[in-house]
Amino acid sequence: MGLGFHVGQPTPSGLVAPQEPQLLLPEHDYGLSVKQMQVLGLTNEATGFGARLPEVKAEALRAKAFYVGDEVTETKRQVARMAVDTKAPGQAPPDLPSLLLDGRICYIGMSLVPAVTELVISELLWLNYSAPEKPVYVYINSTGSQTMQGEAVGFETEATAIMDTMAYIRPDIYTLVIGQAFGNAAMILASGKKGYRYALPNARIMTCPPRMNRSFGTTSNVMIKANELENATQTYVDFMSRFTGRDKEQVRKDVGRNRYFTPEQAVEYGIIDKVMNPSDAVAIERRDYEGMLRASQSQGRGARSGGAMAGADA
């Protein structure tokens, strides 16, 4: 039944008795209101406002009918985008992330959350596979696994996973801080190869203890989390003591609160080795893409001429 007006009914004499126009509303269907049916496209405006389409089936109202693309499964999730070395030989990388990866640069520009860790580890493994004899440059501009207010946004194991991968692969790791390296991001900075840990002149470095957000629950669960936090703190102290060459007691005292370092102070403390100046070379593997393109083109011409000569001899 559509929405319309009945202006009257014929009388036995054939005359139409005048009546007041009567507004007729469509019946609710599928448990939906008229407005909901309109939004879902289940009405036909041409035949009457709110008239239900006769061919609509109940299966069309299921949730999966409105999914776009592949069906959603329990194992499907969003993954971090990773640049892959799929460019044609002799050509420059197609985008900026691919260009950085082609220059053997791993850029950490966000807090250490699982998606960032997944991307960085994937890039490190790829660079180890592609050219294990060449160094990898890790650029850092991150607050670690905490916010500036001290709120934890990731696990402390995000940093240790990256550091374990850096120690696992064969290439040497050169680290450089751009902007900031706070918390366990400073630990990643200090974990680079001795003599190749750098900071730009206006970068800021901060050491701070691992933190846990406010937790609720039973006494035993809170105690378990407190013990895990203490273990994370001890791991942080052990790594920083190893990388800086300072006693664990002094490091534990220093990381008991937020401590900021200028690049010069970080050199003195042992977190980095040198402050990069504008005259210093940028830590990136330089590539002559123009020369690579010319070499690729000459090889292509040689292959074509060789094939033509072979055909003529045949």
List of domains in the chain: 5-66 (no CATH), 96-275 (3.90.226.10)
CA distances, 131 to each of 89, 123, 140 (Å): 16, 12, 22
**Phi then psi for 181, rounded to 5 degrees?**
-145, 100
The per-residue pLDDT for range 99-128, each reduced to its tens digit, is 888 889 999 999 999 999 999 999 999 999
Q: Of the candidates 269, 248, 244, which has an alpha carbon nearest to the alpha carbon of residue 259?
A: 269
**Could you tell me what percent of the chain has a pLDDT over 90?**
44
Q: What's the pLDDT band for 180 if we cut at 50, 70, 90?
A: very high
Segment 6-20 shows an average pLDDT of 54
pLDDT at 208 over 50: yes
The per-residue pLDDT for range 258-314, each reduced to its tens digit, is 999 999 999 999 999 999 987 776 555 566 656 656 666 676 666 556 555 555 565
Q: How many CB atoms lie within 10 A of CB 261?
A: 20
Tokens of 265: 């102070």
CA 239, distance to chain mean position in Å, is 26
Angstrom distance (rounded) from CA 11 to CA 73 = 63
Tokens of 110: 């966000």
Segment 66-94 shows an average pLDDT of 48
Based on the number of CB atoms within 10 Å of its own CB, is 274 exposed (0-12), middle (13-18) or buried (19 or more)?
middle
**Mean pLDDT of all residues in the chain?**
77
Q: What pLDDT is stored for residue 15 in this prediction?
A: 56
3-state secondary structure the chain: CCECEEEEEECCCCCEEEEEEEECCCCCECCECHHHHHHCCCEECCCCECEECCCCCHHHHCHHHHCCCCCCCCCCCCCCCCCCCCCCCCCCCCCHHHHHHHCCEEEECCCCCHHHHHHHHHHHHHHHHHCCCCCEEEEEEECCCECCCCCECCCCHHHHHHHHHHHHCCCCEEEEEEEEEECHHHHHHHCCCCCCEEECCCCEEEECCCCCCCCCCCHHHHHHHHHHHHHHHHHHHHHHHHHHCCCHHHHHHHCCCCEEECHHHHHHHCCCCEECCCCCCCCCCCCCHHHHHHHHHHHHHHHHHHHHHHHHHC
CA dihedral 103, 108, 113, 119 (to 10 degrees): 0
Count of residues for the chain? 314
Segment 175-180 shows an average pLDDT of 95
Q: pTM for this one?
A: 0.64
Q: Tell me which of 134 and 52 has the higher pLDDT.
A: 134
pLDDT at 174 over 90: yes
Angstrom distance (rounded) from CA 110 to CA 122 = 16
Q: Which amino acid is at 93?
A: P
